[in-house]
Structure 1
Amino acid sequence: MCGRFALDDKVNASITEFVTSTGRNHNDWTPDWAGRWNIKPTQQIAVILDDAKADELRVEPAHWSLVPPWSDSLRTKFPTFNARTEGITSKPTWKGPLKSKRCIVPASGYYEWTGEKGAKTPWWIQPAEGIIGFAGLYSWWQDKNLADDDPARWSLTATMLTMPTVDHLASIHDRNPVALPETFWEQWMDPGITGNQDLVDEAVNASQGEMEALGYHRVMPFKASDDGPQMTAPVD
C-alpha cells in the first residue's frame, strides 16, 4: 500500500520536462508546487492526465482519495486512496474510472513501516534520480449543495494502484504502489484505450523493473504533523 509520500519542489521541472517532451498540447502548468514530505490521504496532490475533450495533457491538483460520483460527500465510508490491481474491474468504485480516467501520480518517494504497533520503523523508498510515476485513477465529484457557477462545485479526486510486492521490497511490506516507467505513462493515460484487467496487468508487469530499482533506507519516526526534507534523512 502507500499511505504517505513526498513531492519535493524539484517535481516542477520533472513534470514540465515530461509534458513538453511528448509534443502534445498541454495546459499552462505553473511550476509553483511547494515541496511536501508527508502527504496524507485526502490532502492535495498533483496528477497528470490526458484530457480527451481538450486534446491535451493536463497537470492538476487533486484530492487524494477517489470519490465516486454517487457519494454524498468527499468523505467516503471506506479508504479509497489506494486501489488493489487484483480483480479491479469487479469493484464499482474503480471500474468506471479505469475505462478512460487514468492518470499518473508523480512522487519523489514514499514511506512504509515495519515492526509492531507502537514501535514501528519508517522506511523511505525512492528512485536514484528523477521522480516516480504511480499509476492512478481519477474521478470528478460534484457537490450538489453548491451553485452551478461556484468553482468549488467540482472536485478532482484520485487514487493510486497497488500490487503484490516485488522481491526487492518484500521485507518492508507485502504490497507496493504500481510505479510505471516513463515510456508507459502516455499509454496508461490514453483515454482512447479502454481500460480493463489486461491493461492493469500490463502496467503491473511494466512496474516490476521500476520497483526493483528503487532504493530504501530507514528514517527517524515522525508525527502526522511533521514535514520537511529532514524526514527522508537516513538513520544508521
Structure 2
Amino acid sequence: MCGRYTLTVTLEELMVRYMIGETMVPFHRPKYNVAPSQLVLTILNDGNSNRLGELKWGLIPPWADNPKIGFQMLNARSETAAGKPAFRAPLRRKRCLIPADGFYEWKTTAQGKQPMRIVLKSRALFSMAGLYETWLSPEGTKINSCTILTTTPNELVAPIHDRMPVILRPEDEQLWLNRVVTDVTAIAPLLQPYPANELEAYPVSAAVGNVRNDEPALIEPYWTDEQLELW
C-alpha cells in the first residue's frame, strides 16, 4: 500500500516538469506528509495538453452509494485492476499522474515500526501511476477523486513493505496519459516495479505517523544509536 508521500517542490517547478502552460490551481506549498482523503495535485491530459489539477485521494466510483467508499480505494493493485468494477473503466480511459518526490512505508524492526522514506537517488520528481473518477451525489454534489496503482516491491522495498507504488519513467508518462490508448495490454508493460538501483531508502522520524504533522523535519534522516548499528 502507498498511504503517505511527499511533494516538496513549488508550483512553478511542477508546471515546468510537466509542461503545464496554465493552471487553475491557485496555490501550492511544499507538502511533507500527503495523506489519504486530502486533495492532491494530479496531471491529466485533455487530448491536446497536460493539465494540473486537484483530486481527492481515495477513488469514488460513479455507482457508489456513499463517498466514504473512497477510504477503501486509496490504492489499486495493478495486477487485478482491469478486472475490478471500480477500476476497470478508469484504467482504460481515465489515467493520471500523481507527482511526488518521495513516499513513506513502515518497516517492522525489533524496536517497532520504523517509517522509511523512499526517494530517487537523484532526488528528482517522479510520477506515480493513478486513476481518476467523478462521482455525483443525488443532490448534485460532484467529487473528483483518484487512486494510486501499486505493484510488487523491488529488492529495495521488499524488506520494508510488500507493495510499492507504480512509478513511471518520464518517457512513459505521455503513453499513460494518452486517452486514445484504451487497450490495457498496451499499458501493462508500464506497471512494473521501479528499478531498485535507482532508489534509496532512509529512516525518518515517527512524527510522520501523525497526519497533522507536515513540516520539513519529517523528511530529514532520523538515526537512533540502535538504527546506526542495524543499517
- TM-score above 0.5: yes
Does the aligned pair in 2 maintain the 1:166–1:212 contact within 8 Å? no
Pairing 1:202–2:186 present: no
Query: CA separation in 2, counterparts of 1:233 and 1:5?
Result: 14
- For 1:220, the aligned partner's letter is S
Query: Secondary structure of the residue that 1:169 maps to in structure 2?
Result: coil
Pairing 1:57–2:55 present: no
Does the aligned pair in 2 maintain the 1:11–1:108 contact within 8 Å? no
Q: Which residue of 2 aligns with 1:213?
A: 198
Query: CA separation in 2, counterparts of 1:63 and 1:96?
Result: 18
Q: For residues 56 and 117 of structure 1, do their structure 2 counterparts lie closer, same or farther at Cα, with a shift above 3 Å needed?
A: farther
- For 1:41, the aligned partner's letter is P
Does the aligned pair in 2 maintain the 1:107–1:132 contact within 8 Å? yes
Query: CA separation in 2, counterparts of 1:195 and 1:63?
Result: 26
Query: Secondary structure of the residue that 2:43 maps to in structure 1?
Result: strand
Q: For residues 218 and 19 of structure 1, do their structure 2 counterparts lie closer, same or farther at Cα, with a shift above 3 Å needed?
A: closer
Query: CA separation in 2, counterparts of 1:172 and 1:99?
Result: 31
Q: For residues 163 and 103 of structure 1, do their structure 2 counterparts lie closer, same or farther at Cα, with a shift above 3 Å needed?
A: same
Query: Secondary structure of the residue that 1:167 maps to in structure 2?
Result: coil
Write the mapping of 1:152-191 to structure 2, written as runs, cut at 5 A.
153-191=141-179
Does the aligned pair in 2 maintain the 1:85–1:163 contact within 8 Å? yes
Query: Secondary structure of the residue that 2:168 maps to in structure 1?
Result: coil
Q: Which residue of 2 aligns with 1:149?
A: none
Query: CA separation in 2, counterparts of 1:212 and 1:12?
Result: 29
Q: For residues 137 and 83 of structure 1, do their structure 2 counterparts lie closer, same or farther at Cα, with a shift above 3 Å needed?
A: same
Pairing 1:95–2:82 present: no
The answer for unaligned runs of 5 or more in structure 1 is 147-152
**TM-score w.r.t. structure 1 length?**
0.85
Does the aligned pair in 2 maintain the 1:19–1:26 contact within 8 Å? no
Residue among 128, 133, 141 paired with 1:139: 133
Query: CA separation in 2, counterparts of 1:44 and 1:139?
Result: 14
Q: For residues 212 and 91 of structure 1, do their structure 2 counterparts lie closer, same or farther at Cα, with a shift above 3 Å needed?
A: farther
Residues 115-154 of structure 1, C-alpha deviations (whole Å, 9 max, x = no match): 17993110011122221200000111112313xxxxxx32
Q: Which residue of 2 aligns with 1:150?
A: none
Q: Which residue of 2 aligns with 1:37?
A: 32
Q: For residues 161 and 77 of structure 1, do their structure 2 counterparts lie closer, same or farther at Cα, with a shift above 3 Å needed?
A: closer
Aligned residues: CA RMSD:
2.2
Q: Which residue of 1 aligns with 2:73?
A: 80
Q: Which residue of 1 aligns with 2:227?
A: none
Query: CA separation in 1, counterparts of 2:181 and 2:10?
Result: 27
Does the aligned pair in 2 maintain the 1:14–1:131 contact within 8 Å? no
The answer for unaligned runs of 5 or more in structure 2 is 224-231
Query: CA separation in 1, counterparts of 2:119 and 2:10?
Result: 13
Query: CA separation in 1, counterparts of 2:36 and 2:75?
Result: 9
Q: Which residue of 1 aligns with 2:228?
A: none
Does the aligned pair in 2 maintain the 1:98–1:195 contact within 8 Å? no
Does the aligned pair in 1 maintain the 2:116–2:202 contact within 8 Å? yes
Does the aligned pair in 1 maintain the 2:101–2:125 contact within 8 Å? yes
Does the aligned pair in 2 maintain the 1:4–1:40 contact within 8 Å? yes
Q: Which residue of 1 aligns with 2:214?
A: 227
